[in-house]
Structure 1
Amino acid sequence: MRQRGLTALALAAAVAVAGVGCTAERHWGGSSAKAGSGQAKVGLVTKTDTNPYFVELRNSAAAAAKANGAEFSALAGQFDGDNDGQVRAIENLMQQGVNTILITPSSSTGVLKAIKDARDAGVLVIALDTATDPPDAVDATFATDNFAAGEQQGAYVRAALAGADPKLLMVDGTAGASVDTQRHGGFLKGIGLKDGAPEIKGRTNANGDQSLAQQGMENLLQRTTDLNAVYSMNEPMGRGANAALKARGLTGQLVIGSIDGGCEGVQNVHDGRLAVTVMQFPRKMAEQGVLAAVDYARTGKKPTGFVNTGSTTITDKPMPGVPSKDTAWGLENCWGGTK
């Protein structure tokens, strides 16, 4: 990790958070720049620095900061669910002198005290991708409507089953995280089921990780292989589930759905590893978050409320009544917003 111009205090803090894993685009020392000073100093805290989705979010935020003359630094937890790592990252960014923190909280509640401390110190805090609970724990949220994205996936899977009753396995993310809860609930609404329904043959939590999803799916398949549908909360977990199913020769009988819309995920749909994915637009989230930070630094004006950055169903096998785009469109637009 490159460090530039750190004060002794900030250097000590950086050493303290080294265990959480971090990517720093730029660092600074000194006290927090006040709102209205004109100089935006933006810190980003993501769930991890390895998941391709969060890599895109970080790279887009860094590019937007550079284009708008803002200083930028990015830190992350070691894994999805690393609340302590995110708390240390927030503390580190405050010591660096940020006036805005953009965060994708690993847990909807796990970092609330650190966020409150930042806001009490005059730092603008914007949630990207993942809402806090309560939502007004941050100044604003720029994110996908994750319930709607889950509902889109569920509606497609239901239509693709062509009238057959679902025999469903669910690969969820991190228990308690708002994204996981919203996508899970939206999917069940879209497919027309409720939690605990007998059509749900099993579920596993995989914390957004491909390897954990493969292991979890392998365990579920020891109970039953009489299946026709799989829900996955994100594309890495969809790939993990597919690998386990492929090893059992089961992929031909299944409709596998996911959410993210990364270029690799769209290619997975094109290649038949996933039947459908729901694309979201992290570049929009990052760019809008940085622009809000720049405006706050110049004027002191804070954004408020929830800003939906949109989602689009991607498949090469369109279903009646389910609006979608094909993978050619998806590969052109993956994660970057519509053109």
Structure 2
Amino acid sequence: MGPDHTDREHRTSRERTRQQRTGQQRRRHGAALLAVVALLLGAVACGGGQDDTGGRTDDKVTIGLVTKTETNPFFVTMREAAAAAAEKHGAELIALAGRFDGDNEGQVAAIESLVSRGANGILITPSNTTGILEAIEDARRQGILVIALDTATDPPDAVDATFATDNVEAGRLQGAYLRAVLGDRAPKVIMLDGTQGSSVSRQRHDGFLKGFELTEDSPAIVGRADTQADSNTAQAALENLLQRASDVNTIYTINEPVAGGAYAAVAARGLTQQVSIGSIDGGCAGVRDVQAGKYAATVMQFPVRMADDGVAAVVEFAKSGKKPSGFTHTGTVLITDKPVAGLKSQNTAWGLERCWG
């Protein structure tokens, strides 16, 4: 076998090796390309519909609602109203809540969850009006509209807008009414507030003092307690206070669950004819309690209106980019069957037709 023949075999062998390598490279490139295509298709099919700016590209508007608790009737009504409004607009509502009034960590976790789930907007009733700010700021940085319902943040412009009760006015109406029905009797007042540090609790407290024409250190205030806006806590607190202030004739309550606890404590001591209880909320159960004579009056709020306005604002933002701004007062109405001169009010029949509407 001559050298030419050997060279030809070597060249043939090298050519076969080169062709095999080229085929392997082509197969590897093809497989890589298929993998990239599969990833892209998977992202479109099930990856949340994100565009290259982080926004949603599907047509479904997603709205998050974060309330202070799941069980307070006020927030139950708000959640139901938000769900109905979202359905009307063809949007999806994700409702989350803190474990209790004041659970800032729970609300922070709820906001983080809604951000990760691609919400277009978040409606929140902040338990801690300053502790929640960092989570809100992070959501807004990512292009999410954030609206406060019921409770303004501190500062108010930490959110895009607020739809809420004027809580100072609500407290003022309760205070002015209870002072009027007291007549010539010297006031002996117990104040049952909400949660320490809560802006709603402070605003309603201050409004009551203004309406009743009291100062913080007035001797007419014979007792006070924080109740966490809870009925059982309020009843226990008032039972303790009545042991040393049995001559009380006026009880301020931050909301109707607290008023219910207060009435139970007053009734247990046989003081219902001596004491006038006022409250704030205007739920149907609370209006019926006013009708039954358990409370002298309540100040109606409108959580359905808050939820409707909030949902509509997020839907509009998702469609047009238009943002609401500032504070929108959603209304307060004094409800009583014993009106007094100089204070506009509605009776319980009116209230039962519109409670929380």
> Do they superpose with TM above 0.5?
yes
Larger radius of gyration: 2
**RMSD of equivalent CA atoms:** 1.5
Counterpart position of 2:68: 47
- Is 1:267–2:291 an aligned residue pair? no
- Is 1:314–2:326 an aligned residue pair? no
Corresponding residue SS for 1:107: coil
**Residue by residue, what CA displacement relative to the aligned partner does 1:86-131 show, whole Å, maximum 9, x if unpaired?**
0001011111110100000011112111011101111100000001
| Matched AA of 1:51 | N
Separation in 2 of the partners of 1:199 and 1:111? 36
Corresponding residue SS for 1:306: strand
Q: Is the 8 A contact 1:39 1:297 kept in 2?
A: no
Separation in 1 of the partners of 2:305 and 2:184? 37
Match of 2:105 among 75, 78, 84: 84
Match of 2:116 among 95, 103, 128: 95
**Residue by residue, what CA displacement relative to the aligned partner does 1:248-284 show, whole Å, maximum 9, x if unpaired?**
1111101100000000000010011111000000000
- Is 1:63–2:84 an aligned residue pair? yes
Counterpart position of 1:220: 241
Counterpart position of 1:182: 203
Using the size of structure 1 for normalisation, the TM-score is 0.89
Counterpart position of 2:157: 136
- Is 1:293–2:314 an aligned residue pair? yes
* Percent identity over paired residues: 60
Task: Tell me how far 1:139 sits from its aligned partner.
Answer: 0.5
Summarize the Cα distance change of 1:36–1:160 in structure 2 as closer, same or farther, 3 Å threshold: farther
Task: Tell me how far 1:36 sits from its aligned partner.
Answer: 9.1
**Residue by residue, what CA displacement relative to the aligned partner does 1:50-93 show, whole Å, maximum 9, x if unpaired?**
00000000000000000001111000011000000000010111
Compare 220-229 and 271-280 and name the one that shifted more: 220-229
Task: Tell me how far 1:163 sits from its aligned partner.
Answer: 2.5
Separation in 1 of the partners of 2:320 and 2:132? 27
Summarize the Cα distance change of 1:38–1:29 in structure 2 as closer, same or farther, 3 Å threshold: closer
Q: Is the 8 A contact 2:55 2:118 kept in 1?
A: no
Separation in 2 of the partners of 1:297 and 1:186? 37
Size of the alignment, in residue pairs? 309
Separation in 1 of the partners of 2:56 and 2:207? 38
Summarize the Cα distance change of 1:241–1:31 in structure 2 as closer, same or farther, 3 Å threshold: farther
| Matched AA of 2:331 | G
Q: How does 1:24-39 map to 2 (within 5 A)?
A: 29=48, 31=50, 34=55, 39=60
Task: Tell me how far 1:38 sits from its aligned partner.
Answer: 5.3
**Residue by residue, what CA displacement relative to the aligned partner does 1:215-257 show, whole Å, maximum 9, x if unpaired?**
1111111221011100000000000011011101111101100
- Is 1:155–2:186 an aligned residue pair? no
Corresponding residue SS for 2:273: helix
Match of 2:304 among 274, 278, 283: 283
Corresponding residue SS for 1:201: strand
Separation in 2 of the partners of 1:60 and 1:112? 26
Higher RCO, 1 or 2 (CA under 8 Å, sep at least 6)? 1
Summarize the Cα distance change of 1:158–1:36 in structure 2 as closer, same or farther, 3 Å threshold: farther
| Matched AA of 2:329 | N
Q: Is the 8 A contact 1:129 1:282 kept in 2?
A: yes
Match of 1:241 among 254, 259, 262: 262
Separation in 2 of the partners of 1:176 and 1:39? 38
- Is 1:104–2:125 an aligned residue pair? yes
Q: Is the 8 A contact 1:34 1:297 kept in 2?
A: no
Q: Is the 8 A contact 1:35 1:299 kept in 2?
A: no
Corresponding residue SS for 2:324: coil
Show structure 1 runs of 5+ residues with no match. Answer: 1-27
Q: Is the 8 A contact 2:238 2:265 kept in 1?
A: yes
Match of 2:185 among 164, 174, 186: 164
**Residue by residue, what CA displacement relative to the aligned partner does 1:127-157 show, whole Å, maximum 9, x if unpaired?**
0000100000100000010100110010100
Task: Tell me how far 1:207 sits from its aligned partner.
Answer: 0.9
Counterpart position of 2:271: 250
Separation in 2 of the partners of 1:166 and 1:31? 62
| Matched AA of 2:182 | L
Separation in 1 of the partners of 2:199 and 2:159? 14
Task: Tell me how far 1:34 sits from its aligned partner.
Answer: 3.1
- Is 1:197–2:218 an aligned residue pair? yes
Task: Tell me how far 1:165 sits from its aligned partner.
Answer: 2.3
| Matched AA of 1:210 | S
| Matched AA of 1:171 | L
- Is 1:210–2:227 an aligned residue pair? no
Q: Is the 8 A contact 2:150 2:303 kept in 1?
A: yes
Separation in 1 of the partners of 2:278 and 2:48? 46
